[in-house]
Amino acid sequence: MEKSMLDIIKNTAEFIRAKVGGEMPRTGIILGTGLGDLVNHIEVSAEIDYKTIPNFPVSTVEGHSGKLIFGVLGGRPVVAMQGRFHYYEGYDMKQVTFPVRVMKALGVETLVVSNAAGGMNKEFKVGDVMIITDHINLFPENPLRGKNYNELGDRFPAMTEAYSKRLIALADEIAAEKDFRLMHGVYVGTTGPTFETPAEYEYFRIIGGDAVGMSTVPEVIVANHSGMKVFGLSVITDLGGKDITEVPSHEEVQKAALTAQPVITLLMKEMMVRM
Ligand code: HPA
């Protein structure tokens, strides 16, 4: 007999709870490409390799190590995903978003997501940090397609405030206080693994996008479906458009993400203190 998705989520959460012990964090963090350094600022109490977690997919891409980390950041208990599952790796949407379901089952109420993204907004510079104010889902599939479990969320969830206005305002307040440059923008989520053609960057800009990347949107849809508050940020690692001739590469993306790390760390820590 086919095991229900609800049982699979519950079993995985139970495994993690037993392994970690103690009270579960109410804040989850997904660390994107090149942003894994934030982990070095977490006072780690437990680490679980994805490989050892029942029902978890295994991460394969270079620069994504694949661990679930429990600890304290800015005085707040957190669970962080070091490495995420991308649609372009071949995982289906249920696999890509499975860890978010598990976090919810553990008691996570607020999800912080980060990624590396290409900038289309002409104001943006490489190394900028962009708060995601909204997204455009251009993945060919919605993670909620198929049977809806009412226990997990509504059949037709609203996405009106997919990114919490309160958390965006808080980040702005921190940026103003600490005097660092913080951009706002709409994230376009697409499958990859190709970077965009100049015409595609242009197209994404025209339809309302400020940055484009290959992740985040599926996880944010599922987080909203399950009633979580979401805060998202992108590091602008390359720029694209019809007059831009620089060729993006994975190495360059990782390097550029690293330059933004001090701002990300400062912002994330401070967010944790004040959330
Ligand atoms: N396009 C898509 N995904 C990305 C990019 C980009 O330019 N940069 C980093 N991730």
The 10s digit of each residue's pLDDT in 248-267 is 888 888 888 888 888 999 99
Confidence at 36, pLDDT banded by 50, 70, 90:
confident
Check pocket membership of 215 for ligand 1, CB cut-off 6 A. Answer: no
Q: What is the pLDDT of residue 62?
A: 55
pLDDT in tens, 38-70: 889 999 999 999 989 999 987 665 545 589 999
Give the per-residue pLDDT at 1: 45
Residue with CA closest to ligand 1 atom 10: 117
Candidates 124, 200, 212: which one to mutate for ligand 1, based on the most atoms within 8 Å of Cβ? Answer: 212
pLDDT of residue 65: 57
Position 238 scores a pLDDT of 94
At residue 30, the pLDDT reads 96
pLDDT for 185-233, tens place per residue? 999 999 999 999 999 999 999 999 999 999 999 999 999 999 999 999 9
State mean pLDDT over 83-112: 95
Q: Which atom of ligand 1 is nearest to the CA of 214?
A: 3
Pocket test for ligand 1, best of 33, 191, 196, 245 (most atoms within 8 A of CB): 196
As a whole number, mean pLDDT of residues 165-175 equals: 97
Domain containing 97 equals 5-274
Confidence band for 245, pLDDT divided at 50, 70 and 90 = confident
How does residue 94 score in pLDDT terms, banded at 50, 70 and 90? very high
CA of 119 to the centre of ligand 1 (A): 8
The answer to whether residue 184 scores a pLDDT higher than 90 is yes
- Mean pLDDT of all residues in the chain? 93
| CATH value at residue 166 | 3.40.50.1580
DSSP class per residue in the chain: -PPPHHHHHHHHHHHHHHHH-SPPPSEEEEE-TT-GGGGGGSEEEEEEEGGGSTT-----STT---EEEEEEETTEEEEEEES---GGGT--HHHHHHHHHHHHHHT--EEEEEEEEEE-STT--TT-EEEEEEEEE-SSS-TT-S---TTT--SS---TTSS-HHHHHHHHHHHHHHT---EEEEEEE---SSPPPHHHHHHHHHTT-SEEESSSHHHHHHHHHTT-EEEEEEEEEEE-STT--PPP-HHHHHHHHHHTHHHHHHHHHHHHHH-
Q: Check if 235 has its Cβ closer than 6 Å to any atom of ligand 1.
A: no
Confidence (pLDDT) at 253: 83
Where does the pLDDT of residue 32 fall: very low under 50, low under 70, confident under 90, or very high at 90 and above?
confident
- Mean pLDDT confidence for 162-185: 96
Q: Is the pLDDT of residue 37 over 90?
A: no
The pLDDT of 80-85, averaged and rounded, is 92
- Whether 113 shows a pLDDT value over 70: the answer reads yes
Question: What pLDDT, on a 0 to 100 scale, did the predictor assign at position 229?
Answer: 98
* Mean pLDDT of the region 2-18: 91
Q: Is 126 in the pocket of ligand 1 (CB under 6 A)?
A: no
Q: What is the mean pLDDT of residues 107-112?
A: 98
Give how many domains the chain has, as a whole number.
Answer: 1
